[in-house]
Amino acid sequence: MKKHNFNAGPSILPEVVYEKTARAILDFNGTGLSILSISHRSKEFDEVMAQADSLLRELLDIPDNYKIIFIGGGASTHFFEVPANFLNTKAGYVNTGVWAKKAIKEAKRYGQTEVVASSEDRNFTYIPKGFDIPADLDYLHITTNNTIYGTEYTADLDSPVPVIADMSSDILSRPRDVSKYAMIYGGAQKNLAPAGVTFAIIREDMLDRIQRDLPTMVDYRTHVTNNSMFNTPPVFAIYALTETLNWLKSIGGVPEIYRRNQEKAALLYDEIDRNPLFVGTATEEDRSLMNICFVMAEGYEELAPEFLEFAKSQGMVGIKGHRLVGGFRASCYNALPKESVEALVACMQEFARKHGK
Amino acid sequence: MKKHNFNAGPSILPEVVYEKTARAILDFNGTGLSILSISHRSKEFDEVMAQADSLLRELLDIPDNYKIIFIGGGASTHFFEVPANFLNTKAGYVNTGVWAKKAIKEAKRYGQTEVVASSEDRNFTYIPKGFDIPADLDYLHITTNNTIYGTEYTADLDSPVPVIADMSSDILSRPRDVSKYAMIYGGAQKNLAPAGVTFAIIREDMLDRIQRDLPTMVDYRTHVTNNSMFNTPPVFAIYALTETLNWLKSIGGVPEIYRRNQEKAALLYDEIDRNPLFVGTATEEDRSLMNICFVMAEGYEELAPEFLEFAKSQGMVGIKGHRLVGGFRASCYNALPKESVEALVACMQEFARKHGK
């Protein structure tokens, strides 16, 4: 049976990326070598790296005064590297859930860390808005999309201090004005690549603010200066990332994927709002296009395991909600086809019919 | 033309690993999902991780009081994490070249760092022996194989203090007595996997010595406690690693690969020693089984570019020596077939004949 991959991450990638990476493992671009076994100092890999940089730059419309690095680890690596590099006196964080909290925890080790806004009061079901941003912060850190709670910043923030954003789970899914951010980073394993590589887009002037004597691998200048080649980069993951960017460009870039993501999300949110058995968990205006969270409606709670089983029997993968929210989560990343959302909607409708609704 | 992959790393992996990983990208074990898109919390990946642990344990005969972690980054990550975790007062390092120096540089940031022995006096062409190891060291750090200079520790050290070894480039290539090490680590991109994952084998009692308040990702206890799943691990690289271990086990484990590696190395060193055009660079007793370095013999220096071109025309890949040593380097990692070494030897012989030798 056809599987519909709603995994929260690592998650679905475009079919063409599977085809190209599988082929490149057997023979990379006619070199007679596997992509797993080429030198990261070869001209073939230089080209992959250069393409990754130029494609991301083009697709996100990244201004020239930003540097891009692709390094190993995960967003969790940047959680401590961001304050290690940039927290000299005081940093501000917006607490929108688990990932934001993890970033806050690491920052505290490096200096004063102020939570300037939080949605913890309502289990992170919304994005705080209209809060004051102290002008003396080294930076303000936000998490643009919150996978566990299904909330997302729908607009870029205006801020008197540099904004640093974890965009692990919504990079390239909707338009963002990069010039409003001092740094954007994330793990690549949602919209960009398989797990094992991170991206960071850093405004050049930020690098002049680094004051600590940091381990070479932790200092962002190391990776900027060496074009992400200070040490052996995760070659395969970067190649897959490049092919994902090529796919995104081929279908029309961010404008087209945004249209598709809106369409997919509307299909599913409409069903959630219409179907008497289900109810969404996130505040409507902050609903994520990427992670769509819902639970059984009041009075139907006991049907949750049955729905999960039924959905599974219809080929749905990864729709169990995070334990902190419960219920269901359909992650609808860039590469998820509309057909998968339609299949899930059909599933919900049939389940309602089975229960006389 | 058939390519012979002598790359120093990322390097050749077993054919069966290419086949299995390519297949797993299109469909992982009949799940209908790609290995690039499965959840790291899935039971399928749990099994991969468990297998990686048990196979490495079996192949290296790792005692029960050692923990194994597989995390992202590279050996360069461990260069600072080792002293961050274990350098409380004073550490000793043996300087056997570029990689050892990089490790030393990172250690200095954390405390007193004593170079207890060095082979820098003769451009790192040998492994220091018989040196005194101060009894007050937190640990002694060695680099068991030196890719750039082609030297290797052929025996395990006896030491009054915990020995921590970077085995990036000779792990599982020859017998090692793990019980003589407090920690063994490395980047996996030589004998184990594609680039993007590291391994660390840590004796449990070492974890009790950690005194610093470290970033969560830097503290080894984080990864030990969470079985390498604190954050999203590099799923694909770990899968490839597991399949490489499966291959090694299937051919007879370390005893058999050691036999093969000795046989391959003997073939090439014999030719270097016999062929009047070439000369080896490493001291004979410290010659590496993994990276075989040689240069043009005295009087023939100007033939180097011609030999490189000739070898390339015969399908040899990656045999140019590191710029610090010059000449040639044939990396003969576990997966390199004997046929490739024979092809290189034939190449050297034909080149000598062309030049009347």
Residues of chain B positioned with their CB less than 8 A from the CB of A187 = 231-232
Surface of B (318-347) touching A: CB under 8 A:
318
Candidate from A38, A189, A318 with C-beta closest to B232: A189
Q: d(Cα A131, Cα B299) in Å, to the nearest integer?
A: 76
pLDDT at B207 over 90: yes
Q: Does A111 touch chain B (CB under 8 A)?
A: no
Active site residues of B: 99, 166, 190
Give the pLDDT band of residue B102 (cuts 50, 70, 90): very high
**Domain A252-354 belongs in CATH node 1.10.3720.10:** no
Candidates B36, B106, B340: best to mutate against A (most CBs of A within 10 A) is: B36
| A247 closest CA partner among A63, A4, A21 | A21
Taking CA atoms, what residue in B is nearest to A194?
A: B36
pLDDT at A357 over 90: no
The identity of residue A58, as a single letter, is E
Give B251-281 pLDDT, tens digit per residue: 999 999 999 999 999 999 999 999 999 999 9
Q: How far apart are the first and last CA of chain A?
A: 27
B40 in Cβ contact with B47 (< 8 Å): no
> In 10 A of CB A58, how many CB atoms?
13
Largest CA distance in chain A: 66
Q: Does A216 touch chain B (CB under 8 A)?
A: yes
Give the pLDDT band of residue B323 (cuts 50, 70, 90): confident
Buried/exposed B287-309: b ≥16 CB within 10 Å, e otherwise: bbbbbbbbbbeeebeebbeebbe
| Pairing mode, strands B291-296 and B328-331 | antiparallel
pLDDT at B1 over 90: no
pLDDT on residue B167:
98
Q: How far is CA A161 from CA A90, A111, A144, A201, A294, in A?
A: 11, 17, 17, 17, 35
H/E run at residue A78: helix A75-86
Candidates A18, A80, A232: best to mutate against B (most CBs of B within 10 A) is: A232
pLDDT, mean of residues A196-225 = 98
Instruction: Return the CA Rg of chain A.
Output: 21
Q: d(Cα A275, Cα A349) in Å, to the nearest integer?
A: 7
Q: d(Cα A228, Cα B326) in Å, to the nearest integer?
A: 25
pLDDT on residue A219:
98
Percent of chain B with pLDDT over 90: 99
Q: How far apart are the first and last CA of chain B?
A: 27
Complex ipTM over 0.95: yes
Q: How far is CA B174 from CA B60, B126, B191, B261, B289, in A?
A: 9, 19, 11, 8, 9
In chain B, list all ranges with CATH 3.90.1150.10.
252-354
Q: Among positive and negative, which fits the CA dihedral B177, B78, B220, B161? A: positive
Percent of chain A with pLDDT over 70: 100
Q: d(Cα A135, Cα B22) in Å, to the nearest integer?
A: 52
pLDDT on residue B336:
98
Contacts of A219 (CB under 8 A, 6+ apart): A85, A210
Give the pLDDT band of residue A70 (cuts 50, 70, 90): very high
Residues of chain A positioned with their CB less than 8 A from the CB of B147 = none
Give the pLDDT band of residue B198 (cuts 50, 70, 90): very high
Q: Does A353 touch chain B (CB under 8 A)?
A: no
Query: Is there a binding annotation on residue B247?
Result: no
Taking CA atoms, what residue in A is nearest to B12?
A: A37
**Domain B16-250 belongs in CATH node 1.25.40.10:** no
Residues of chain B positioned with their CB less than 8 A from the CB of A32 = 1-3, 315
> In 10 A of CB A16, how many CB atoms?
14
Asked whether the bond before B10 is cis by omega within 30 degrees of 0, the reply is yes
Query: Is there a binding annotation on residue A99?
Result: yes
Q: Among positive and negative, which fits the CA dihedral A216, A218, A219, A220? A: positive
Query: Is there a binding annotation on residue B75?
Result: yes
**DSSP code, position B320:** B
pLDDT on residue A255:
98
Distance, CA of A36 to chain centre? 25
Predicted model pTM: 0.98
Query: Is there a binding annotation on residue B331?
Result: no
pLDDT on residue B357:
87
Shortest Cα distance, chain B CAs vs residue A80, angstroms: 6
In chain A, list all ranges with CATH 3.40.640.10.
16-250
Strand order of the sheet with strand A66-71?
Answer: A66-71, A198-203, A183-187, A163-166, A139-143, A90-95, A112-118
What token pair was written down for B204?
A: 């449990």
pLDDT on residue A323:
87
Give A259-280 pLDDT, tens digit per residue: 999 999 999 999 999 999 999 9
Give A312's strand partners: none
pLDDT, mean of residues B180-199 = 98
pLDDT on residue A138:
98
pLDDT at B208 over 90: yes
Q: Where are the beta strands (DSSP E) in chain B?
A: 4-5, 66-71, 90-95, 112-118, 139-143, 145-146, 151-152, 163-166, 183-187, 198-203, 278-280, 291-296, 316-317, 328-331
Q: Does A80 touch chain B (CB under 8 A)?
A: yes
Give B275-309 pLDDT, tens digit per residue: 999 999 999 999 999 999 999 999 999 999 999 99
pLDDT, mean of residues B219-228 = 98
Give the pLDDT band of residue A1 (cuts 50, 70, 90): confident
Query: Is there a binding annotation on residue A231?
Result: yes
Buried/exposed B94-104: b ≥16 CB within 10 Å, e otherwise: bbbbbbbbbbb
pLDDT, mean of residues A92-115 = 98
| B278 closest CA partner among B352, B331, B183 | B352
Buried/exposed A309-319: b ≥16 CB within 10 Å, e otherwise: ebbeebbbbbb
B37 vs A237: CB contact, 8 Å cut-off? no
Q: d(Cα A149, Cα A126) in Å, to the nearest integer?
A: 8
B18 vs A34: CB contact, 8 Å cut-off? yes
